[in-house]
Structure 1
Amino acid sequence: MNSKWKKFNRKLSVVLSTSLIASMFSMQLLASAEVTSSSVTSFKDVEQSYAKTEITKLIEKGILSGFADGTFKPSDSVTRAQLAKIMVGALQLKPDSTVASSFKDVEQSKWYAGYVSALVQSGVAQGTSKDTFSPDKKVTREELAVFFVRAFGWETKNAPTQTTKPQLADMDKVSDWAKDSVSLAYQSGFIKGIVQKDGTTTFNPTGVADRQALARLAYEFVMNKSTYEQFMIPAKTEEGTDNSNPTKPETTKPSENSNKGNSSNNSSTGDNGNNNNTGGNNGGGQQTSSKNLTSPGTYTLGNVTGNVTIGSQGVILKDTKINGNLQVLESVANGDVTLDHVTVTGTTSIKGGGPNSIHALNSVLATVIVDKADGSVRLVLEGASDVQQIEIKSGAIVKNDSTGDVGPIELTDSIPHNAAVVLNGTFDSIMVHAEQISVEFGDNSSIGNLEVFQQALNTVFKINQGATVNRAILDAIVQFSGAGALTSAQVNVEGSDFSGLQQHPRIEADPTVTSLVYLPEIIDLSAVNATKQIVLTGVTGSANKDVTSLASWEVENNGIVTVNNSGKIQAVANGTTVVKAKYGEYQIQVPVTVAVYNELTHPRLEGVQVTNGSAKLTFTNGLDVSELTAEDFVVHAYYNGQERELSNLQYHNGEFTFSPIDSYGSTLYITVDSNTDKTQFAGSQSASVKLTGFGGRIKDVAGAPVANLQISFRKGLDNKTGEIVGTVTTDTYGKYYINMQPGIYTGELGGGDTKYIRTYLIGVSAVNVNNQNENQTAIEIPAANETRFVLTWGKDPADLDSHLIGPAGDGGVFHTYYADKRYYYDDELMVDLDLDDTTSYGPETTTIRQLLPGTYTFYVHHYSGTSTIKMSGAKIDVFHGAVPTPSATYTVEEGSGNELYWNVLKMIVAEDGTVTYETVNQFTNVNPLHTLTPESSSQETNEAGE
């Protein structure tokens, strides 16, 4: 245990900058601005709080405050903004809004701006990213413990290893990164825990912290700090001097551009790449300035006061301490680099290296950022290497063979779609923000906590043989497979797929849920195969939560009714029984009666299809639905745990219509039943629709709206052949909106008997945001005398550019691209770039209006964005004449390499007009314009990189 205490202080800063911040539950809180009150008597809701005394004292000191409605809300959850205010008061810091201006979600006019800024400046906390603070996010109990231990500014290496006080009974539920802090805080008496009936004490670590708990800890920190000094000693600096400042800044992440230019930042006495075994004149403990290692060899630099760049493969850097940043540059390509007994106090940035790649042996690294454009890089940690945190921004392999300590690994949202990340070894904490990627845990790997954030839609996790993921927290719909094991999962959104695992994980309940309510409370069914929905709601301290599909359902007698995984009951035969649901520690029982009404002769309601605005009905026995009226039905709707009256509900010819619910993210359940007389039909049917989806606008290349165009959607990214799961038609303005379950969808438009080429769009349906800019351009089929090149690609890079070079009317050549879109000859348009897309996917279209004999060359330029052309999925379709299908297609072959240009094809037009195609498929960093047309050097373009 002593070794763990010794590691604590070194790990703590990264715990705060990653785990403390990024692991907070992503649930929205409607927070009100706090107002100061000088007396607790003005707060009408603190009399019964266990922290009444502490609240009173801290209000008197001006550290705590309440709300404008005269309440303190002791049981409400704590937001990051509220925490910032209280911690600034407890640390006696002065509010200052200067730093807060760097956070786009902290407006200067907000009440908390000065507190956020002061806390960030103190080094006690950082933003959730370089430009966001997330002031409305909730804080968990284990995070509070870590936060206050950090605020004390003391090391835990001398914490008691033995004590007469029993350990917390639920320590196994504490996140690995928080265990040391929670244990120390409890053993010292700083946190009290919750005494259970059996005499044990629990902590509920993942429960959302409430305001009274924060008040008690803040009181102890302010009023009784000396009480806990016997358990903690002041941290020492590396030189052994005392550093008891509680606001000592933690290691911070560099800004996006902080390392630009380092490759040229060399002093006149710096290393010039000499290949020797002693590292030239730099060795031992000498202080040296920034270095640029540009040749293979073994280098020993001693103490470096600036930055070091490695620009060549075959570099072995030994026995060096870098008091700055280390960069492994793109020029290392697919070569190897070894760090042997190297310490880097700043950021280690890996942009080069191959499949055997970067080795860190007995080294100490603060923040490691892996960002190789094509993803073909492997980082191996060996010996007793320590790494505080790893950020992965591209595909990568990370192997941990080290006996040292490896902090949290963050898979950032900048990782390109369909990239692969492989993690081999033991890792305490993995945090995933990346969307639509593949994450593989290698054979016999051990993962502590896996946190999947809202934006990580459709990410796929493979757990290999012998590998174990101890616990997953899922705030996005993802998929698991493999022969390994996922022990438990807290599923905060419905829809994740565990079917690919040999054994399903134990599903944990949301710890903020304190009870269950359900509707309806009694079920009666009047026909075989009739259905009714039970809606199960978890009661929380703030907004209630629909847990219908997250609960486990069963029925006492499935010969009478059955129940599916989403709480829908279906009648089988006459009788009575009980349906049960369990969610966490809570369970319900619902009595059910089936009494079939004139089964052989009476019409039955057989089905209902629900959208946000309609419910279409189907019946048996040829019932004339036109004779039915609204009085023949009973309609119940449930939304957000309550029965909801549907506005403007009308019935006509087998369909109910109603005003769409203007809300987003929850499920609308509708049950249609026969009236009590059952004079027209018997039975009932239930259906639901998740009020998530996306929309956008379809326009043509001229920007005009495309009306009445059908779009068919398939589940998944770039899925062009699977089952169609939804269709929608654009309105008069070219707009569409479709309700879809959370996920990524591929929409197909055009083709068939339309006048448009078949193209595709990508739509993302998420639980936390309503995407309404999933736009696309409809490309018309060319005229008989035209040829059209259509470039499409994936999410990354954001901007690929189309270039076409060909014969000009004056005997020279033309070059069309984004900066010179049209070529005219004798005032006649000959060639034009109809559309230049700069926001992923395409299409970009280049059209030859008048063909001239000669050779046309089409190439692609990686203009901006992450990833590479080879990993982009780029495709060029060539349409020659008035045809709906391409005459030729060229698709990039996936591979390594980050070249800027892809020279794709040549189209050769003979004197008689015959067209032939020649595949080029060359990748280069030299603009093909200059190699194909040397004389064009006098016509310098404005294109970046040329």
Structure 2
Amino acid sequence: MFLKKKKKLLVGFIAKLMVLVITLSSVSMSVPSVAEAASKPEISKNSKSVLIGNRYNLNIKNKIKGSTYKWKSSNEDVATVNNRGFVTGISKGKAVITCTIKTPKKDYRVKCDVTIRQPAEEFEINNKVSILNVGQKYNLNRSLYPESSNDLTSWSSSDESIATPNSRGKFTALKEGTVVIKGTTLSKKSDDVTIRVVDEAGIVTTQEELDEFIGSGVGLITVKTDEEATFSIPEGDYGKQTLVVDAPKGEITNKGVFKAIEIKNISPNTWYEQAIGNELNVSARNSRIVVDNNATVSIVSNSSNLNIVNNGVISGLTLNSSGSVNIEGSSTTPVPITANTANAEITTSVPVNMICNQRITLNILPGAEASTVEVASEEFIPNVIGVGNITVIIGTGENATTRTIEATPANNSSSGGSSGHYHPSPSPTPNPEAEVNTGEISGRVTAVSVVTGSAIEVVTGSAIEVVTGSAIVAMPGVNVRILKYDGTTVNAALESIFTNPNTIVTITDENGLYSVDELDEGSYVVVMGKSGYKVLIQQTTIVPGASTVLNGLLIPLDEDESIVNGYASGKIINALNGQQVDSSLEFTLKVYSRNEAGLGALVLTEVVSGGKYTIQLPEGYYTVELTDNREAVDGVTYAKAISNLVVLGGSTYEDQDIVLSTLKTAGQATFVLTWGEEPWDLDSHLIGPVEEYEKYHIYYASLRYPRDVDHGDLENLDLRLDWDDVTSYGPETVTVYSPVQGGVYTYYVYNYSGNYDSTLANSGAKVVVTTATETMSFEVPAGGEERSWVVCSFDSDTGKITPINELVDNDFSNTIEGLVEG
């Protein structure tokens, strides 16, 4: 009995042991070895550029003994491949090189996307500069000759700690030093530029240093010295440079036109202005500005003591401090003055046309008796002393009244004065606890009216007009459009100013006056226009609790002209790669007039090529429609694109690029994002579709779905981030090639840069969505410091785009549960 029981136990143990051995054997057989996984054949390059006429060997790595290799080109008119994998470039274009590998155990298929490029005969860096500031961004740009060349350019730096250009030649100067940046094409044509990076302020102390910096490319020049010195700035257009003067013993004669001029410290003797079109921001405690008889200038004063000798034209004088201003000179043209602060004192011997937003003292000397003053209410009527009478306009519109104020003799100004002197009630004391978060803007629009008299010069934009026999008159009925544009370009704001729901529209009254209050802090573009006059476009800044005064001077059209022509130009960009389209392609460009009602009449039809366009049109706002002239083929030819254009008389507005997406089939969609210079990096995100708890997320860290499909294999990809732009402007593109499953996708934009330079709401961002049946455009809505813009949803079953257009805090994807990275 005992032996039988022992035998049964032994048999059971052996049976269990056999089961364990079989199980372990099956597990070991099901797991591939590390050696087997590592031996999978791979192609040496997934993508490659080859010049026409050149050869390149596409090697196979991890070859397996006993295998056969069959090579094939998708387009032998572009590139051929022999049985050893050598690719030869035949003509400009793209082809897919495929190798089918038959091994003793398994077949493999590998491929390489090949771009055949036309060699450049010449290569040139367009924007060569010699000096830049630390922190300054710059785009070198480049030209290839012939223009049909699509040669590939690579950029290198002799010292990447100073500057490292990206693939498009853009870079930021990182630290002081000298660096050589070189661009080299695939055909070995090259050009380089040597750049010295100086301190952030661009400090110069001598005339020699100043001469070196002017026109060099450096964005900011600061003249800073405590020594006695005289500086002379030659005639020239320095519109990309800002000049700051911090030289308490320095005298400057200026003939150049700058982006901006700020006078912090200067000798009390003189700044001699001999240029046309500058704005001087004066904060020096004690300064003297002499305006030459051929000069035109505007002045913003934050000075405690400013002396002006006006022998030319002062287009505007704005007082933002309570100091004293003395005006004299040979010019008899009235000086337009806006007083924004109380207790300032103006003494003048030339006529002034004043707008008083606060109560000041106005001392009228002989020669200034024809001065006029405008005030919103009686409390701002100035204390007028000196000689003669002045005219005061109180209020605006139908309720405005006119009063003549007799000046009190200067030596009696502290007494009760004569019966003709007006004593306004004291200005109300502001409540120190009241917090004001908005500002206001007001001003007067005038125009040049032809009368008998002498010629005057008028500056409008960058053009200088000479109108013979002219006078300045108030302009009623002028349309004034105001739009906030922080963080984007003026072009971007102008493109939408007629249609943007945030545009504020007002009309000047019979005295040419306008006023808008409760404006948020920020930068604004202001467009003033009236039939028969050239459009005036200006920029200004709103400060909380302050009143900004912006006057306008309209220039009439000449008698022999009914229109003023300007130019618009830009590149035609492929949304999939951010590059210009093939220069051999032709497009039909149609331009329509644009007004407050939307699309107007067709005004121009033109065929353009070369990957760019330039058109001449009357000054105004337009919508352009661009159509690919090739026979329509889904995924090959481009879908019709619609974009807005701005044209200004006598000017060329460049970089109004048009971005194109390829035609889509049912269920497909492309989302194209563009924006302004700041923030520098906005990111596209696509989430969806939703089924239970899985949501696929495509963005810069998850470029495609499925992940195991090559980025260039559009036939087998479902979702892809086609192009990721990290250096401002865009385009950045996401495409649904084949819906993962029927359902709804959500597209949103995230401000990766943060709110350091600008906010998403102020970026000027636009998104164009193209499907098989429609194209829809979105503009970022107004907001605060939100980081995400949820733009729209796309239903891949119906092809319908549903607008959302909402700003939300932080990253929108963080609010979604169960998110699966694509």
TM-score range, shorter chain: 0.3 to 0.5
TM-score, normalising length: structure 2:
0.37
Q: Report which of the two has the higher share of helix.
A: 1
Which has the larger share of strand?
Answer: 2
Name which one, 1 or 2, has greater alpha-carbon Rg.
2
Query: TM-score scaled by structure 1?
Result: 0.33
